[in-house]
Amino acid sequence: MMNKYLYTFLFMLIIYLIIETLSSMTYSLISRPQCKEVKKYEYGGLHPGNTLLIIGSVHGNEPAGHYALKILKKKLDTKQIEVTNGKLILIPNPNFCGIKYNYRHAPGDKDINRGFPKSLTEESHTENNKKIVDYISKTNPDIILDFHEAWSYYKMKGGSYGSTIIIQKNQNQHIVSKCVKRLNKTISNNSKKWSIVTDFQNNPGSLRHYCNIIKKQYVLVETSGQLNVQKLDKRINQNMTII
């Protein structure tokens, strides 16, 4: 009887792996022009001030940032909210096909968040990376806010950075503390509350690493969202609270 269940399990596992492999291969063959499409939207204030660049969902399986920026863009376009000082730049969808097909990487299995230049002399690894780097160079933002999603909760100490705002030491501490305080007002479970992190790994090729190279202030937001550990609308609302 045990062997029967074991064989059934192994058979289902093999079928699952075949489907996943075929799905990955099919996605990798996609060569639509939209996959390399990275649009930016600029909103200038009435008065001088800092420039904030917000990037949503370079990983297609982390969609909350993308949808939060779509909502923000609509509010800005319809004048429900306005920029008063400085400039706001939005890149809602830096991974068009990743979002469309719910796939982490860009076609060709390319991780956009490992494709940024690793030095001042290195080129970007993908067309998507190149466009983001060009936008940063041309708009010269003071702060870059980058939305991601993790698979669990940081406070559960399982190795996930979900429900954290990750900053460089001694930068933006005051405003980030306000964000975390506001987010945690509606969370009763202490293990699911938000935290501020300053000792996050600085992976070469990531946007965080690139911002360190070019001396830009960088803020990384990690909701608890992969595998729908929280509902999408809740994660979107958390991102909107931070914005």
Per residue in 127-162, pLDDT (tens digit) is 999 999 999 999 999 999 999 999 999 999 889 999
The partner residues of 219 in beta bridges, in order of sequence, read 145, 167
Encoded tokens for 188: 């009763």
Residue 113, helix vs strand vs coil: helix
Say if residues 29 and 107 touch (Cβ distance below 8 Å). Answer: yes
Say if residues 160 and 191 touch (Cβ distance below 8 Å). Answer: no
The answer to whether position 219 is within a domain reads yes
The partner residues of 146 in beta bridges, in order of sequence, read 55, 220
Q: Residue 41: which of 85, 94, 84 has the closest Cα?
A: 94
Q: Number of structural domains, the chain?
A: 1
Residue 166, helix vs strand vs coil: strand
Residue 16 has pLDDT above 70, yes or no: no
Residue 25 has pLDDT above 60, yes or no: no
Residue 85, helix vs strand vs coil: strand
The answer to whether position 44 is within a domain reads yes
Cβ-based burial of 64 (10 A; exposed 0-12, middle 13-18, buried ≥19): buried
What is residue 13's predicted lDDT score, i.e. its pLDDT? Answer: 61
Per residue in 33-56, pLDDT (tens digit) is 778 889 999 999 889 999 999 999
Instruction: Compare 16 and 185 and report the one with higher pLDDT.
Output: 185
Structural domain span for residue 203? 35-242
Confidence tier at 101 by pLDDT (50, 70, 90): confident
What is residue 172's predicted lDDT score, i.e. its pLDDT? Answer: 87
The answer to whether position 23 is within a domain reads no
Encoded tokens for 37: 């499409």
Encoded tokens for 159: 């190795």
Q: What is the CATH number of the domain that holds 194?
A: 3.40.630.10
The answer to whether position 166 is within a domain reads yes
CA distance 6 to 142: 57
Per residue in 80-95, pLDDT (tens digit) is 999 999 999 999 999 9
Instruction: Compare 2 and 194 and report the one with higher pLDDT.
Output: 194
Per residue in 197-231, pLDDT (tens digit) is 998 888 999 999 999 999 999 999 999 999 899 99
What is residue 201's predicted lDDT score, i.e. its pLDDT? Answer: 83
The answer to whether position 8 is within a domain reads no
Residue-by-residue DSSP string for 52-83: EEEEE-SSTT-THHHHHHHHHHHHHHTTSS--
What is residue 19's predicted lDDT score, i.e. its pLDDT? Answer: 55
Per residue in 55-73, pLDDT (tens digit) is 999 999 999 999 999 999 9
Sign of CA dihedral 145, 32, 27, 233: positive
The answer to whether position 9 is within a domain reads no
What is residue 174's predicted lDDT score, i.e. its pLDDT? Answer: 92
What is residue 2's predicted lDDT score, i.e. its pLDDT? Answer: 47
Residue 24 has pLDDT above 80, yes or no: no
Encoded tokens for 111: 């991780």
Highest mean pLDDT among 9-23, 24-38, 97-111, 223-237: 223-237
Residue 117 has pLDDT above 70, yes or no: yes
The answer to whether position 49 is within a domain reads yes
The answer to whether position 200 is within a domain reads yes
